Amino acid sequence: MTVVCVGYAPIAFTELWPYARPGAPALGEWLLGRSVSPEYVAAAVRDRMDPYTRSLLPLIVHSVLGGTLMLLGPLQLLSAVRRRIRLHRALGIGYAVVVYVSMGGAAVYLARTAPERAFSGAAFWIVLATVLVGTVFAVTFGVLTAVTGLPELHQRWMLLCYGYLMTAPLLRLEWGALPALYPGLGLQDVNRVAIMHLGLLVVFGALLASRAMDRRTDHPLVTGGWFPWPVTAAGYAAAATGLALLTYGFLGHGTEGRRLLLGYLVPYVLVVGVLQLRASRAARRGHVWAREEWRLHLLAMCLAPGLSAGAALVFERVMHLDPLTALVAGAGIGCGFLAFAANLLLSLRVLYGREAARRGSRVVGVDADADAVARTGESV
């Protein structure tokens, strides 16, 4: 992750130079032109010129500060691992401020650009807006959980925030990789394939990082199980229903629909399989905290296809999108949205456990005082 982030930072710093001054060098375009073709890059610049030049200054702020975040993220993780609290806190304050300002620049661009006029169309606009909102709320919850003394939740929210930010460098990698699988595909079509699974991959990566950094198998505030086998079975039924709806929708759009469906199905099945495997392993070993976290995210991912299919209908009816664009937009936001909901539910569960423990200690304290008073009276 550090290699990807540090490598992407100079690309983010220089990405918008050609739009401010045509012909100016940009590292990302130089690399993409040599890994794919100059014509591929020229078409991408031409398609992005109109929407970008109308909001160039906010986009420059967003891009340059986004590159800064790519450098701050690894520094944050390193300071956390080394337990350098003051450095970690100072970097965290700077990180949060940069996130807000950078996302503010992106928000101005999205507000000034109609969805259908955005680069790669309305589906890409919707996914960008969803990532923006998720990033802002994730960093906000990260700050709040740090202030309230919940380090395990703070860690999860900040990793989820950084996962959302990782959509930018991973998308650039797909710009170079997907043309090898689909020769002749333009950048706008590559973006449509990429957003089918990028949200799933980054939130799954954030979960893996959370479990790797928090190796506790049990949590003092989390006991019992909220997800018995009937809940898991219902989740799989919901996943099958949602996948059937998405499959039916995409298969009605010929070769392009099949290509998009494949970009969604393969990563989705692999991720759900890993989640089920890890949840089962934690259950066999009696690791309650790990089991509940894996199961919670498994249930969230099982609900994602149904949410995506429902969102597609909403986009089609409310925003008047064509059916395929609505399906792409729905599939692009489902997993990222529900991973956020899973993090929120996990946080509520820990807060509930802390409040229950606090109330229990108060009751124990009252009983102890009463016993002391009784013993004092008997001695008198």
Tokens of 292: 């509940």
C-alpha span between 14 and 25 (Å, rounded): 8
Helix axes 187-194, 121-147, angle to 10 degrees: 40
User: Residue 346: pLDDT band by 50, 70, 90 thresholds?
Assistant: very high
pLDDT tens digits, one per residue of 12-67: 999 888 888 877 878 888 888 888 888 888 887 887 888 888 889 999 999 999 99
pLDDT tens digits, one per residue of 132-157: 999 999 999 999 999 998 988 999 99
Main-chain dihedrals φ then ψ at residue 68, nearest 5 degrees: -65, -40
pLDDT tens digits, one per residue of 159-174: 999 999 999 999 999 9
pLDDT at 367: 42
What is the end-to-end Cα distance of the chain in Å, rounded? 70
pLDDT tens digits, one per residue of 213-229: 888 888 888 777 777 78
**Which SS3 state, helix, strand or coil, does residue 219 take?**
strand
- What is the rounded average pLDDT for all residues in the chain? 88
Higher pLDDT, 228 or 320: 320
Q: Is the Cβ–Cβ distance between 160 and 204 less than 8 Å? A: no
pLDDT at 106: 95
Nearest to 241 by CA among 197, 294, 302, 297: 302
pLDDT at 81: 63
C-alpha span between 186 and 44 (Å, rounded): 8
The answer to which of 214-223, 252-261, 328-337, 367-376 has the lowest mean pLDDT is 367-376
User: Residue 364: pLDDT band by 50, 70, 90 thresholds?
Assistant: very low
| 86-98: average pLDDT | 91
- The reported pTM is 0.90
**Res 115 pLDDT > 70:** yes
Q: Is the Cβ–Cβ distance between 264 and 127 less than 8 Å? A: no
How many residues are recorded in the chain?
A: 380
Q: Is the Cβ–Cβ distance between 201 and 265 less than 8 Å? A: no
pLDDT at 46: 80
pLDDT at 40: 84
pLDDT at 98: 96
pLDDT at 361: 64
Percent of the chain with pLDDT over 70: 94
